[in-house]
A = this chain, B = another copy of it.
């Protein structure tokens, strides 16, 4: 039970009352009153995606016989507050943002062939190196509570998703708890552009194991950028102890900061506790970038949240978070602005509806 709750918070799974043999329309509308406070400026907004990422999507499966199936998944990132959408990226490079606020399937756009040998998945998808940060974050990398190991990361465009990807997933439920995926993605440059011809190319792999209340996984990746390559690696795990689920992850990255390639490390500990029709979530996370100065550029964050379920599909929630910056970091919450080494705090008050 706890495990499935975590998965719902962290992944793109959604319950559809509109299932058909061929196509399902699905979505999440999550709206929150969000306040952020910082040393320079505060901000109050009605925005989206405090508990689960708002989205609108279309997916379908075709049974091809012999245990084989073809399927697709098209999912956009929706901003309920003003009717706009999140962008996508066409080339896994800093230049590749596309959509401009209108509807694109930036969260996922894939076509798959599946069988007992696993799944071949083509298109735009989450990268393998993203999942440990999200599945082993009580807040599922969503909203005000999002782990600092994602918010501060220095790994660039492919830290969450990649386009032009060829992915492979191990078969589900066939390997006695072993699960995993590998992905190769293309920047799609012409061969005559010299040093930048591999800009946006990369790969990631993830391998995990789950048995009963336990799940652990590790991932590593490499993306080639013209500005300097990045590595995003992490391990994570969780234990569902019944009264509570505890989880943790550790991340070590390489990326380019102000033109220089740097190392960074981060970690999270947290958990969630079911309380009646609700869930309490709590986490501590931090992320430190080694800038070869006396102190690392570091951000440390506490987050506390409560979700109250009106039904399986609809929930009210509140989240409070506080962070401290050091070594020149200027991270801030919910749109606030804070000066170097100053703190920031923020809260969300929201409602989430899935269909």
Contact = CB atoms under 8 A, between A and B. Distances in A.
Contacts of A42: 190-191
B102 A43 contact: no
B62 A314 contact: yes
A124 B81 contact: yes
Contacts of A353: 62, 70-72, 111
A30 B70 CA distance: 12
Contact of A83 (B25, B45, B91, B109): B109
A103 B101 contact: no
In the complex, the count of this chain's copies comes to 3
A27 B110 contact: no
A151 interface: no
Given A90-B101, A122-B80, A164-B45, A25 B70 contact: no
B44 A186 contact: yes
Interface in A44-63: 44-47, 56, 58, 60, 62
Nearest to A103: B103
B337 A190 contact: yes
A17 B21 contact: yes
A106 B314 CA distance: 24
Interface string A83-120: 11100111100000011111111111111010000000
A56 B56 contact: no
Interface string A190-232: 1111000000000000000000000000000000000000000
Interface string A20-33: 11110101011101
A22 B62 contact: no
Given A22-B18, A122-B351, A163 B82 contact: yes
Contacts of A351: 70, 111, 113, 122
A111 B31 contact: yes
A227 to B, nearest CB: 21
A186 B83 contact: no
A58 B101 contact: no
A165 interface: yes
A41 to B, nearest CB: 4
A351 to B, nearest CB: 6
Q: Report which residue of A47, A84, A310 has the largest number of chain B beta carbons within 10 angstroms of its beta carbon.
A: A84
18 contacts: A16-B22, A17-B20, A18-B23, A42-B190, A42-B191, A46-B123, A46-B164, A65-B311, A78-B105, A80-B122, A81-B109, A82-B89, A82-B163, A83-B104, A83-B105, A83-B124, A98-B100, A99-B101
Given A17-B23, A82-B124, A83-B105, 7 more contacts: A23-B25, A30-B111, A60-B355, A70-B314, A100-B102, A102-B103, A103-B103
